[in-house]
Every structure is written in structure tokens, then in C-alpha cells.
């Protein structure tokens, strides 16, 4: 019996550690805030405007920064920073920069900024390319609507 309790304790510690590292929790709990950040920086320091202007994610720089109400954003150029500052809602990733697939399932999860998609002028980021492809395959079946419904519950 003693080993059972030890085993359960180890599993709980591992699950809690993973949840903290990958920011996994039910969306409705609002544990991680409205914008996913690491050290206060959104999108792991990637330039959100670059997805639109360059068609690829570029790493931002601490030299070109925009301080929003709930996050600091980094940009690869002053021009991109200025575009974002003029219209943050246009360029910020949907669902606070959490994985859109995870949100469709009712959870938050850290994205890989290299796994992304622009749909109808909106940026979506994903934990990896497999879940991105699964989410995109489900668009006709309502994956986007489910993400939106779940995100509204936070």
C-alpha cells in the first residue's frame, strides 16, 4: 500500500510539472491569463507581423518592442512594431497565442511558433504541425467554431 501512495504521488508531481511547463489546463480556469507569455514576452519572442508580411515567422528582437496591456511583443523591425501598435487585434495570434487545437478541445497549451496558419486574415498557432493539420482538417466540421466557443468560456 505504501508503494501505491508513493507511485500516485510521483505521477501527480509529473503531471503537475508537465502542466506547468506546457501551460496545459482547462481554458475555463484562466490559469495562464489572456495572453500566453514566457517571462512576460508573447509568442516566445517571435514577430507576429512577420507571419503576414514575410509569410514566415521571424524571431523578434528586444530592440523593437511593443508593451501591451498584458504582454510584451518583440518584432524583427521597427516597421513591424509600428504596424502592430496601430492594430494589435489584426496581428496578434488568436486565442491569446495558445494552441488553437488545444483550445478546440477545451484546454490551453503552449504553441510552437513555427507551427502556424493564417485563416481569413487571422493568425493561429499550434503545439506542433500534426495538431495544426488535424485542426485544419476539421475546419469544415467546426474546429474553429469550437475553439471560439471554448475561448469565450474563460
Which pLDDT score, from 0 to 100, does residue 3 have?
53
Confidence band of 11 (pLDDT split at 50, 70, 90): very low
User: Looking at the predicted structure, is the pLDDT value of residue 37 above 70?
Assistant: yes
Q: Which residues contact 72 (CB under 8 A, 6 or more apart)?
A: 37, 40, 41, 42, 65, 66
Could you read off the pLDDT of 101-154 as tens digits, one per residue?
Answer: 999 999 999 999 999 999 999 999 999 999 999 999 999 999 999 999 999 988
Which pLDDT score, from 0 to 100, does residue 59 have?
98
What angle, rounded to 10 degrees, do the helices at 143-152 and 129-137 form?
110
Residue 100: how many other CB atoms lie within 10 Å: 32
- Whole-prediction pTM value? 0.84
Q: Are 58 and 143 in contact (CB under 8 A)?
A: no
Which pLDDT score, from 0 to 100, does residue 125 have?
98
Rg over CA atoms, the chain: 17
User: Looking at the predicted structure, is the pLDDT value of residue 45 above 80?
Assistant: yes
Bigger pLDDT: 84 vs 69: 84
Q: Which DSSP letter does residue 93 get?
A: P
Average pLDDT in the chain: 88
Over range 43-68, report the average pLDDT: 97
Amino acid at each position: 500500500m505504501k508503494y501505491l501512495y508513493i507511485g500516485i504521488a510521483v505521477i501527480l508531481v509529473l503531471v503537475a510539472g508537465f502542466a506547468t511547463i506546457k501551460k496545459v489546463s482547462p481554458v475555463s480556469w484562466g490559469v495562464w491569463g489572456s495572453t500566453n507569455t514566457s517571462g512576460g514576452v508573447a509568442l516566445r519572442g517571435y514577430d507576429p507581423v512577420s507571419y503576414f508580411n514575410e509569410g514566415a515567422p521571424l524571431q523578434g528582437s528586444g530592440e523593437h518592442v511593443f508593451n501591451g496591456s498584458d504582454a510584451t511583443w518583440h518584432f524583427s523591425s521597427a516597421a513591424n512594431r509600428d504596424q502592430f501598435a496601430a492594430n494589435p487585434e489584426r496581428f496578434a495570434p488568436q486565442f491569446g497565442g495558445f494552441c488553437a487545437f488545444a483550445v478546440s478541445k477545451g484546454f490551453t497549451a503552449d504553441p510552437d511558433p513555427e507551427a502556424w496558419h493564417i485563416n481569413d486574415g487571422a493568425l493561429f498557432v499550434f503545439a506542433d504541425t500534426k495538431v495544426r493539420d488535424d485542426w485544419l482538417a476539421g475546419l469544415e466540421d467546426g474546429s474553429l467554431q469550437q475553439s471560439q466557443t471554448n475561448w469565450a468560456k474563460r
